[in-house]
Structure 1
Amino acid sequence: MSELVTGEAVALELRPARLPSRAMAIVIDLIVAMVVYIAVTVALVAASASLDDAAQVALSIAAFLLVLVGGPIAVETLSHGRSLGKLAVGLRVVRDDGGPIRFRHALVRGAIGVIEILMTFGVVACIASLVSARGRRLGDVFAGTLVVRERIPVGPSGFLPPPPPWLAGRFSGLDLSAVPDGLWLAIRQYLTRMHQLDPQVGWAMAERLASDLAAHTGTPAPQDVPPGAYLAAVVQERQAREARRAYGSGTTEAGPSPASRPGPGVGVQGGYPYPGAQPAAPLSPQPPASYGVEAAPEGPAPAVPPEGRSASGFVPPA
C-alpha cells in the first residue's frame, strides 16, 4: 500500500493498480476506441470515395492518429486521469506525488503507449508492469505518473495539518515551478507523520526540508516562522494553485483536522513540534470534597496566552 496525497489536498491510502485491473481498463478503452475508429473510417471512406488512393491513405492515417492516439490523450487530460475503462474499474492516473496529471503527462503516456500497447499488442506493457514494483509501464516511467486504485476507504490519520491562520497568503508570491515532485511528496509525508516523531528529530527533518524547499524557490525561509509551519503554509499555497488550475475555484481553506491535534507525549508549538519539548504531564484527579478541599468548577480553564504571543503559540510577524 502506498500513501499518496492528491493535488486537491485529499490524503488517501491508495494501492497502486496491478496488471489484471490495468489490463481490464485498457481492454475497455481499446474496445471503445476501436468502435469509434471503425465508425470514423466508414464515414471517411464514404465521404472520400471520389478521391485518389493517396488521399484516402492520408485520411486513414489521420483518423488513426486522431482516434487511437489523440483520443486517449484528450480524455486523460480533460478527466484528470480517468478514462472510461479506468472509471469502470476504479483506477486513476496521478503524478508521482499524487497530484492530478496534466497534458504533458498524458501526451508522454499516449505517445509511448502506441509502441508498447498498440504495436506490440501489449506485450511490452505487460512485461514492464510485472517488473515494476508499483506496476508501472514504460509510459508511466517516462511521464512520471502512477496508476492507482481510487475505491479505497480514506484513513482518518492522513489529513494535512493546516498552517497557522496568520500565515494565510503570505507565500502567494513564491515561484513553486522548480520544486520537484519528490520533494513535495517528502514534505507531505512529513506533515502527516510529524506528530509521531521525536520532537528533536521532527524539528531537524523540518529544517532540512524547509532548506531544500527554499533552495528550489529561490527565496530563503523566514526566520520568524517555525519550519513545520512554513512547510504547511507553502503546501497549502500549492494546493490552492492546483485547485484554481484544475477547477477554476478560489483558494482552498484547510479546516482543522485530526492530524493537527498533538498526540500524547508530543511537544507542539501551535500544532507543530519544537525541540526540547517534554511529554505533557497527566492531569491529576480532583480531590474528593470529604477532604475539605473545594472542588474546582467543571470545564476547562480559559488559556491565557503570554504577552506578545497569540493563542496558537506562534509569534505573529511584526
Structure 2
Amino acid sequence: MASSDETIIGEGVALDTAAASLGSRAASALLDALVLGAAYFGIMMLVTVALPGSLDFAAISAIYLTTAIGTFVGVPVVFETLTRGRSVGRYALGLRIVRDDGGPIAMRQALVRALVGVIELWLSAGSIALVASAANSRGKRVGDMLAGTYALQTRASSAQHLPLTVPFSLGDWARVVDIRRLPDGLALEARQFLTRAAALHPASRRRLGESLSARIAPHVSPLPPQGTHPETFLTAVLAVRRDREYALEVQRLHADSAQALAVHRLPHGVPDVEN
C-alpha cells in the first residue's frame, strides 16, 4: 500500500509525491494575497469613480460586496480551473494544487477551496490555514481537507533533463554492440522511466528498471557485462541508438544533397554560363 507521500499511477508504480513544504505554501499564499489585494484595490477605485451619485447605500453596498466576492472567490476559482491548480504565487514557487490521487483539480475542488479560503485565509489573516497546514502531514489547509486536494512541488530538478550519454564503464561494449530496431513505444517508455527515476519509490524503481531491461535485452547483442545495473544498461542502449540514428540521418542528408546537385548539373561538356 502506498504511503501518504506516494501516488500509485496507472502502471502500478508508486511515485514519490511528497507535498510542498509549509514555507513554500506560505510564500505562494502571500504572493497571491498581494496580487489579489492590488487587483481588488484597483477595481474598487474604478468602481468608485464609475458609480453614479444617485445610488442609495444598499445598492452601493451590494456592488462592493459583489466586487469583493468576484475578486477573492471568482478569480481564484477561474484561474485554478483553467491552469489545473496554479496561481500567480504557485507559478513563482513551482507549486500546483492536485487531487489526493495526484490528478488535476476541477472547478468543484477550486470552488470549495476558494469558499473556505474566505474564512481561513482572508477573515482570519491566514492563521487558521497556517495552523491546519502545520498539523497535517501533507500540509493541507481546511479547504484542501474538504476538497480532497493538496499542494505538490512540481518544479523538476535540472538533473532530470540531462542528456543521455554512454557510461564510461560500457564504452568498449557500446562500440561493438548490435542493437536491433527497438519498438518506438518501448524506447519511449525507457526514456520516460530514466527521466523520472529519481522521483520513483525505490522498490518500484528497481522493479520497473529490471522489467524494462528484460524487455529490451532481446534486441541487444551482445549483452553488457554481467552485473551491469539496469538503469546503466538502459541509458547506454538509448544513447547508442540515438547516436547511430543521428549518424544515419546525416549520411542520408549528404546523399540527398549530392543527388540534388547531380540532377541540376549540366551534361558533361556543356559549359555552365552564368546569366
**What TM-score bracket applies, with the shorter chain setting the length?**
0.5 to 0.7
Specify the alignment match of 2:131 in structure 1.
127
**Out of 49, 55, 75, which is 2:59 matched to?**
55
Which of residues 25, 29, 32 is equivalent to 1:29? 32
Distance 1:47 1:10, change over 3 A: farther
Match of residue 116 from structure 2: 112
Distance between the aligned counterparts of 1:103 and 1:29, measured in 2? Answer: 19
Query: How far apart in 1 are the matches of 2:33 and 2:205?
Result: 44
Measured on the aligned residues, the alpha-carbon RMSD in Å equals 3.8
CA gap 1:42/1:139 in 2 versus in 1, 3 angstroms: same
Q: Answer whether contact 1:18 1:129 (CA < 8 A) is retained.
A: no
2:93 pairs, out of 89, 99, 104, with: 89
Cα gap change, 1:36 to 1:71, in 2 (>3 Å): same
Q: Which of the residues 32, 36, 45 maps onto 1:42?
A: 45
SS of 1:261's equivalent in the other structure is helix
The alignment covers a number of residue pairs equal to 177
- CA, structure 1 residues 126+65, in 2 after alignment: closer, same or farther (shift >3 Å)? same
Q: Structure 2: which 5+ runs fail to align?
A: 162-184, 187-199, 216-223, 227-275
Report how far residue 132 of structure 1 moved.
0.3
In the alignment, the residues of structure 1 paired with residue 146 and residue 160 of structure 2 have an alpha-carbon distance, to the nearest angstrom, of 30
The question of whether the paired residues in 2 share the 8 Å contact of 1:195 and 1:262 is answered with no
* Aligned AA (1:25): S
2:78 to 63, 70, 74: 74
- Please state how far the C-alpha of 1:261 moved relative to its aligned partner: 1.9
SS at match of 2:150: strand
Asked whether 1:261 is paired with 2:212, we answer yes
Unaligned runs of 5+ in 1: 157-163, 166-188, 197-256, 265-282, 286-318
For residue 307 of structure 1, what is the aligned residue in structure 2?
Answer: none
Match of 1:222 in 2: none
Cross-structure match for 1:139: 143
Structure 1 residues 11, 67: closer, same or farther in 2, change over 3 A?
farther
Residues 84 and 259 of structure 1, relative CA distance in 2, 3 Å threshold: farther
Aligned to 1:275: none
One-letter identity of the residue aligned with 2:204:
R
Quote the Cα distance in structure 1 between the aligned partners of 2:145 and 2:90. Answer: 18
Partner in structure 1 of residue 243 of structure 2: none
Aligned counterpart for 2:20 among listed residues 17, 28, 31: 17
Cα offset for 1:12? 5.4
1:149 alignment partner, one of 153, 158, 167: 153
Q: 1:25 to 1:194 in 2, by over 3 A?
A: closer
User: Looking at CA atoms only, which structure, 1 or 2, has the larger radius of gyration?
Assistant: 2
In terms of fraction of residues, the more helix-rich structure is 2
Cα offset, 1:108, TM superposition:
0.7
CA distance, structure 2, for counterparts of residue 260 and residue 58 of structure 1: 63
Specify the alignment match of 1:193 in structure 2.
204
What displacement does 1:155 show? 7.2
Q: Distance in 2 between matches of 1:260 and 1:29?
A: 44
